[in-house]
Amino acid sequence: MSNNNFLHMYQTLVSIPSISALDDKLNQSNKLVIDNLATWCQTLGFECEITELNNAPKKYNLLARLTPQEQQVEHTNVKGGLMLAGHTDTVPFDDKQWSLNPFALTQKNNKLYGLGAIDMKGFFAFILDVLQGLDLKNLKQPLIILATADEETTMAGAQQICQHKNLKPARCIIGEPTDMIPVFTHKGHMSNAIRITGKSGHSSAPDSGLNAIEIMHLVIEKLLVLKQTLKNKYSDKHFKIPYPTLNLGHIHGGDNANRICGCCELHIDLRPLPGISVKELQAILLAAVSDITKQYPNTVEVIDLHDPIPAFKGATDSSLVQLAEKISGEKAIAVNYCTEAPFIQQLGCETIIMGPGSINQAHQPDEYLAMEKIKPTQEIIRKIILESCF
């Protein structure tokens, strides 16, 4: 693996487009990223399992496992040890907003620029570079690398891997950009469309139709009350924004000023706290608009725009949190964004989010990693692997 130094692997991963999008015109396979990772892992002695997703054709997960010699009799059933996990897809990008080539790892102003530089292809370059400097023959506990697909849209890769029957790591670190600060809990994510189907007609005869915009006005009033109710009723002191948030993000309806609007649709974003289940929040949302649905039967629909992502909560006193705090020198925190953690956690492992780069650069034009962070990040990853597996 002499040619596969840190920057070479970093550049290779960034150079391969692997965008996830709900728009088929933008959506891309991640297979070439997975193939490169598998090749590098195999060179280090990992046994690799590449799986196409059941619900997302041309999207793939990689499970790379390195097992101590004494545990290799039952190599398909991996228990214990450490799993290092991340996703291989990126968000779409606006070419007009980028000043640099998003598919080239550009060194400039002591920064590494590129799409996926910190969200989160770069994490795999860090892992593999660190592993090249370790004597893997002395491994005492299993070491697993998980690379998933479609995190940026459906999280289908993580949802599929959590059903794996022969995967039972003791610990998992998901390398999303946290500036190497351990994250032990985060909010969930729900996106809903509220669709009003009225009856169109000529504006000069208002009673001949049913104006969807007017009904949506009533719905929005209810949602603003719900927004305040969530703020008043629920609180978690670990979060900077300690309550569930509700955002009215996008609305469209109607086609002409002199026409009664026959259809209006509003897209909202809900971020549940740990302890509030997705089903509970869905029921709260439906209850908020129930009076309107009774007043206007068969007019109001509440639709999931994607499968809801539950909140994630780990234990602050877990051995992994304590180890990460000790090695990083940072106290574990809560964050408002969401990750694959609630699905990975279903494998039964202690789970945290902790990776290179700042979340402030994620999903931004000219995404970058500050180069002064490289050596400290490599050292933290190295120490965690040594403590967990050697």
CATH domain 191-304 topology: Alpha-Beta Plaits (3.30.70)
Among 151, 176, 236, 367, the one annotated catalytic = 151
Please report the pLDDT score of residue 72 as a whole number: 61
Q: What is the mean pLDDT of residues 356-369?
A: 96
- 272-282 tens-digit pLDDT: 999 999 999 99
pLDDT at 4 over 90: no
Structure-token pair, residue 244: 């569930």
Backbone phi, then psi, for 36, in 5-degree steps?
A: -65, -45
Q: What is the mean pLDDT of residues 118-134?
A: 97
pLDDT at 183 over 70: yes
Cβ 187 vs Cβ 273: under 8 Å:
yes
Domain boundaries for CATH 3.30.70.360 within the chain: 191-304
pLDDT at 2 over 90: no
Please report the pLDDT score of residue 77 as a whole number: 63
Q: What is the DSSP letter of 273?
A: P
DSSP secondary structure letters along 295-329: HSTTTEEEEESSPPBPPEE--TTSHHHHHHHHHH-
pTM: 0.92
pLDDT at 3 over 50: no
Please report the pLDDT score of residue 144 as a whole number: 98
Report the 10 Å Cβ neighbour count for 366: 18
**Is 100 strand, coil or helix?**
coil
Please report the pLDDT score of residue 373 as a whole number: 96
Query: Which residue in 131, 137, 134, 157 sits closest to 60, CA to CA?
Result: 157
Please name the residue ranges forming H helices in the chain.
Answer: 6-15, 31-43, 122-132, 156-161, 212-233, 278-288, 290-295, 319-328, 341-344, 374-389
pLDDT at 16 over 70: yes
Please report the pLDDT score of residue 129 as a whole number: 97
Say whether 307 is catalytic: no
Report which secondary-structure segment, H or E, holds 247: strand 245-253
Query: Which residue in 209, 301, 219, 300 sits closest to 261, CA to CA?
Result: 209
Distance CA 282, CA 326 (A): 39
Q: What is the mean pLDDT of residues 51-57?
A: 94
Is pLDDT larger for residue 72 or for residue 291? 291
- 69-101 tens-digit pLDDT: 766 655 556 689 999 999 999 999 999 999 999
- 296-331 tens-digit pLDDT: 999 999 999 988 999 999 999 999 999 999 999 999
The helix-helix angle for 31-43 and 6-15 (nearest 10°) equals 160
Q: How many H helices and E strands in the chain?
A: 10, 20
Burial (CB count within 10 angstroms: exposed 0-12, middle 13-18, buried 19+), residue 233: exposed
Say whether 89 is catalytic: yes
Structure-token pair, residue 162: 């959590």
**Is 225 strand, coil or helix?**
helix
Query: Which residue in 28, 56, 21, 50 sits closest to 37, CA to CA?
Result: 50
In sequence order, what are the residues at sequence separation of 6 or more whose Cβ sits closer than 8 angstroms to the Cβ of residue 360? none
β-bridge mates for residue 245, sequence order: 271
pLDDT at 242 over 90: yes
Cβ 184 vs Cβ 342: under 8 Å:
no
What is the share, in percent, of the chain residues with pLDDT greater than 90?
94
Query: Which residue in 327, 383, 365, 361 sits closest to 122, CA to CA?
Result: 361
Please report the pLDDT score of residue 79 as a whole number: 81
Secondary structure string (H, E, C) spanning 340-374? CHHHHHHHCCEEEECCCCCHHHCCCCCCEEEHHHH
Q: What is the mean pLDDT of residues 88-115?
A: 97
Residue type, 356: P
Cβ 198 vs Cβ 210: under 8 Å:
yes
Distance CA 66, CA 64 (A): 7
CATH number belonging to the domain at 6-186+311-389, selected among 3.40.47.10, 3.40.50.2300, 1.10.510.10, 3.40.630.10: 3.40.630.10
End-to-end CA distance of the chain: 22
Domain boundaries for CATH 3.40.630.10 within the chain: 6-186+311-389
Q: What is the mean pLDDT of residues 4-16?
A: 94
